[in-house]
Amino acid sequence: MDSTLTELPNVMKFNDFVYQRPEMAYLKEEFHNLLEEFRNAGNAERQDEIASDVNALRNNFSSMRDLASIRYTANTADPLNQAERAFFDEHNPEFEGLTNEYYKAAIQSPYRNKLEQNWGSQFFRLAEMRLKTHSPTIEGLMQEDNALSSEYVKLIASARIYFEGKERNLSDIDTFTSSLDRNLRKMAMEAKYSFFEKNAGTLDTIFSNLVKVRTVAAHKLGYKNFIQLAYDRLGRTDYDEKMIASYREKIRKLLVPLVMKFKEMQAQRLEIPKLKYYDEAFKFHSGNPKPKGDKNWIMQNASRMYNEISPETGDFINFMSETDLMDLENRKGKASGGYCTYMPDFKTPFIFSNFNGTDGDVKVLTHEAGHAFQVYNCRDFTIPEYYFPTFEAAEIHSMTMEFITYPWMHLFFGEETDKFIYLHAIGSLSFLPYGAAVDEFQHHIYANHDISSQERKKAWKSIEKKYLPHRDYDGIPFLEQGGFWQQQRHIYQRPFYYIDYTLAQVCAFQFWAKFNENHDLAWNDYMRLCKAGGSRSFLELVDIAGLASPFNNGSIEKVVTMVEAWLKGKHEKMNRL
Ligand code: ZN
């Protein structure tokens, strides 16, 4: 018998979660009755009570939707799972429509001031943004947008490349980038990009249509172009296009020369005259660091780590393990990738991944667990909008957790720990110019929405020169012609999201410095941030955490100085490995 379970009598395991498909007719009727009551309520207190009932309906729908989605990704081949997933694909827009009606009623409430005092302003900011960016007049365009994005995802997933005696998909091919044989690395990349070359026409057409659909939607809603519509959809309430442009410029000035230096050092370490694109993922002659055991071994060590970090993380990991809220192993039929989600009816996060024996397995347990830890701390929020913050804020929790766990990485990587941490720190910093390049490219595209596919590729090439001047594609045609961006899923599927990772990364670096200075004080700041969830806007949350805004003068400088000081002496040591 499991002794820990007897101490926690009310804990329900994931397999016991009861799924029930929402009855749409009933949901709509209930929702409309409540909204009617809400509009006719005589005071803020009554509206507050009715809002709780509305939120209960919303929580139930989203919990069932997420439960269905988890079961589908855990076993995509099961027809029952497919059917439930299809049900939500079909009915989610109706549910979103109901939520919009609720937002409208809340915004128009005569007791709005009182409600705002109780609920906070962030709810109203998000509701206003949502109504501004959604309208029945663009529903068809949004469906088209979704269909085009899915077409892209399907095309990429369909890739079958015959290489080294076997048919392989794109992620199989990518594993050759860490091969010791340089020629094999080069051939693998040539094979990979011949798939893109072959499909260049389709990739261009899908993207042209996406740009068109998004631009028409923006015009219909009264925007000049898609850029501000995308910002509003992402809930960006406290920064604009101009601030982002000068932030990118700081990244270019401060980080591009540094990343060039890192790449030169990598070439020296690998004893090659110049680093080519197919060498970039190959870090050490002795191989890239790997965890020293299987999934169960990794989980035992993760449990020890989180119980040592703090009582809060200890409770969290014990709860996640005892209730089976992590599906980590790679299995046939599982969807690819990793994610963290939250089901309010069960008050539980869920972590999904596909362990494959690389350092990425440990990264799931730090990054996705950072997201899950935040939402676990927000499980008593009564306003669903506040479970998760906007993306740039949400990634602070996860990226910071990657740094907080550095002192425990020896549990996973043994004698390769220094290698792992060195690569992680350098990789996190080197990511910033690439993130800025992806962002600048999208601004260029949507500000000039009618340029040709050829001109787009030219634009990418010149942006690439600016942010990634070290890149040497060594004659691979598709890449030489400016096609690299077509493998970046976010550009197709999640427009303008990418810069969020960089904003969060600058914040996470600041947290790392704090943790190096005083672990206990830093932990208090981190907990305060986690507990605030999505109840505030990005810059308000940054302030709550005691961090400097990434837009402030000096913020990026400080990060660079800190990481460079930390790296002092480490490069030479790494060159001997
Ligand atoms: Zn994340």
Which pLDDT score, from 0 to 100, does residue 572 have? Answer: 81
Q: What is the pLDDT of residues 59-79, one digit of tens each?
A: 999 999 999 999 999 998 899
Q: How far is the CA of 370 from the centre of ligand 1 (A)?
A: 8
Query: Is the model more confident about 176 or about 117?
Result: 117
d(CA 165, CA 188): 12
Which pLDDT score, from 0 to 100, does residue 477 have? Answer: 93
Q: Which long-range contacts (CB under 8 A, 24 or more apart) does 356-360 make?
A: 356/330, 357/290, 357/291, 358/288, 358/290, 358/291, 359/288, 359/289, 359/290, 359/291, 359/413, 359/420, 359/423
pLDDT band for position 90 (50/70/90)? confident
Contact predicate 459/445, CB 8 Å: yes
Q: What is the CA radius of gyration of the chain?
A: 24
Which pLDDT score, from 0 to 100, does residue 10 have? Answer: 57
Q: Which of 59-63, 179-183, 347-351 has the lowest mean pLDDT?
A: 179-183
Which pLDDT score, from 0 to 100, does residue 285 have? Answer: 86
Residues β-bridged to residue 339: 352
Q: How far is the CA of 129 from the centre of ligand 1 (A)?
A: 23
Q: How far is the CA of 46 from the centre of ligand 1 (A)?
A: 38
Q: How far is the CA of 367 from the centre of ligand 1 (A)?
A: 6
Q: What is the pLDDT of residues 7-40, one digit of tens each?
A: 444 579 999 999 999 999 999 999 999 999 999 9
Query: Is the model more confident about 374 or about 572?
Result: 374
Q: How far is the CA of 344 from the centre of ligand 1 (A)?
A: 19
Give yes or no for residue 161 having a pLDDT over 60.
yes
Give yes or no for residue 2 having a pLDDT over 70.
no
Q: How far is the CA of 109 from the centre of ligand 1 (A)?
A: 36
d(CA 125, CA 113): 13
Q: How far is the CA of 391 from the centre of ligand 1 (A)?
A: 8
Which pLDDT score, from 0 to 100, does residue 192 have? Answer: 95
Give yes or no for residue 3 having a pLDDT over 50.
no
Report the DSSP pairing between strands 326-329 and 348-355.
Answer: parallel
Which pLDDT score, from 0 to 100, does residue 11 have? Answer: 72
Contact predicate 349/376, CB 8 Å: yes
Query: Could you give the strand order of the β-sheet that contains 348-355, starting from the edge strand earlier in sequence?
Result: 326-329, 348-355, 339-343
Instruction: Give the single-character DSSP code of 441.
Output: H
Which pLDDT score, from 0 to 100, does residue 1 have? Answer: 40
d(CA 290, CA 412): 8
Question: Can you tell me the mean pLDDT for 304-312?
Answer: 97
pLDDT band for position 292 (50/70/90)? very high
Q: How far is the CA of 320 from the centre of ligand 1 (A)?
A: 18
Q: How far is the CA of 395 from the centre of ligand 1 (A)?
A: 5
- Within a 10 A sphere around the Cβ of 82, how many other Cβ atoms? 13
- Within a 10 A sphere around the Cβ of 371, how many other Cβ atoms? 22
Q: How far is the CA of 98 from the centre of ligand 1 (A)?
A: 28
Record the tokens describing residue 200, joined without a space. Answer: 């260049």
- What pTM value is reported for the model? 0.94
- Among 354, 387, 348, smallest CA distance to 15 is for 348
Q: How far is the CA of 9 from the centre of ligand 1 (A)?
A: 32
Q: How far is the CA of 364 from the centre of ligand 1 (A)?
A: 9
The full length of the chain comes to 577
Q: How far is the CA of 399 from the centre of ligand 1 (A)?
A: 7
d(CA 62, CA 64): 5
Q: How far is the CA of 119 from the centre of ligand 1 (A)?
A: 27
Q: How far is the CA of 74 from the centre of ligand 1 (A)?
A: 19
Q: How far is the CA of 38 from the centre of ligand 1 (A)?
A: 36
Which pLDDT score, from 0 to 100, does residue 251 have? Answer: 98
Q: How far is the CA of 351 from the centre of ligand 1 (A)?
A: 11
Q: What is the pLDDT of residues 119-147, one digit of tens each?
A: 999 999 999 999 999 998 998 999 899 88
DSSP annotation string for 483-547: -GGGG-HHHHHSTT-THHHHHHHHHHHHHHHHHHH-HHHHHHHHHHHHHHTTSS-HHHHHHHTT-
